[in-house]
Amino acid sequence: MSVTGSEADMSYQNFIRRINDGGFGDPQVTNELRTLLREYKMQNAIVWNPNWGPSLSDDPLEATKMARQLIGELTTKIEQLVRDRRSIRFSITAHNMSVTTSTDAKNIHSCQKCSKQNVSPADVLILSNCGHVVCAEPSCQPGETNVCRVEGCSSSSLPYQIIPGNSWGCVDNNQDATSVTGLGKKFDEVLLLLKDITKAKERCLIFVQQDKHRKDIEHMLKSNGITFLVLDSTPHLSDNLEKFKEQTSELYSVLILKLGDPSSAGW
């Protein structure tokens, strides 16, 4: 038994080829899918047909219909997996950057494009759309193509999605009585930056890791008359995203996103 019908065969082979060629645009997901394919072939060695794959139907029309439906469903799930992997990768990268810039900024980073080791935070760039870390070498940066150059990654990486490594820092959890915001010096510095940004009629993104920090930032923004929107996995996600992207009479200066939440992927 095998997939019958030339159209079903072609759909299946194109799908397998897309996996093997890294066509989903994420090296981690590509390796995971290749591993799953190898394991499936080993477990089903007796019935596996290297040309057609697993059996679907003896009826060519039914086989074609089933193949298209199955491949469509798998493609949708894989594309969601890519988004999730990128979001998680960015969260891990953000955490690592915060840890290393909070004390003595040890040179523990490496470029995921050229494999250069012991790169200082000041000499790395974080691509927020896919979470990859690259060094400052021109050949490793997205450049005019606006695409991540890490092997196997085809994620877009526009200038505003690239974050310098030395711009990260840890939030001071110890409230300081001398603090302007009452939340610590880090929050004071953030507030000063935001005031400059709003004065210049520009906009920015703020990534937070904990709900407590998000509430503190929201309170700080409200207290200082800075308009903002929150992007999280709620029914209002798409509405808030459109509001922030559009230039309206009521300009939202800040978009708050939570690290690790799928909604923050792509920024």
Which 3-state string (H, E, C) describes the chain?
CCCCCHHHHHHHHHHHHHHHCCCCCCHHHHHHHHHHHHHHHHHCCCCCCCCCCCCCCCCHHHHHHHHHHHHHHHHHHHHHHHHHHHHHHHHHHHHHHHHHHHCCCCCCECCCCCCCCCECHHHEEEECCCCCEEECCCCCCCHHHCECCCCCCCCECCHHHEEEHHHCCCCCCCCCCCCCCCCCHHHHHHHHHHHHHHHCCCCEEEEECCHHHHHHHHHHHHHCCCCEEEECCCCCHHHHHHHHHCCCCCCCCEEEEECCCHHHCCC
User: How confident is the prediction for the chain on average, in pLDDT?
Assistant: 77
Summarize pLDDT for 138-149 with one digit per residue, the tens: 999 998 899 999
- Sequence ranges of the domains in the chain: 6-85, 106-166, 171-264
What sign results for the dihedral spanned by CA atoms 117, 86, 128, 147?
positive
pLDDT at 10: 78
Q: 210 CB contacts (<8 Å, ≥6 apart)? A: none
Lowest mean pLDDT among 44-53, 177-186, 191-200, 258-267: 44-53
Q: 206 CB contacts (<8 Å, ≥6 apart)? A: 190, 217, 254, 255, 256, 257
- pLDDT band with cut points at 50, 70 and 90 for residue 172: very low
Compute the average pLDDT of residues 243-266: 66
Using alpha carbons, select from 138, 157, 158, 140 the residue that is nearest to residue 149: 140
Q: Name the amino acid, one letter, at 140.
A: C
pLDDT cut 90: percent of the chain above it? 27
**Residue 255 to residue 205: CA distance in whole angstroms:** 5
Compute the average pLDDT of residues 172-192: 66
List the 204-208 sheet strands across, edge first. 204-208, 254-258, 228-231
Q: Has residue 206 got a pLDDT over 60?
A: yes
Compute the average pLDDT of residues 217-243: 75
Between residues 55 and 186, which one has the greater pLDDT? 186
Contact between residue 208 and residue 258 where contact means Cβ atoms under 8 Å apart? yes
What's the N-to-C CA distance of the chain in angstroms?
Answer: 46
Compute the average pLDDT of residues 3-11: 61
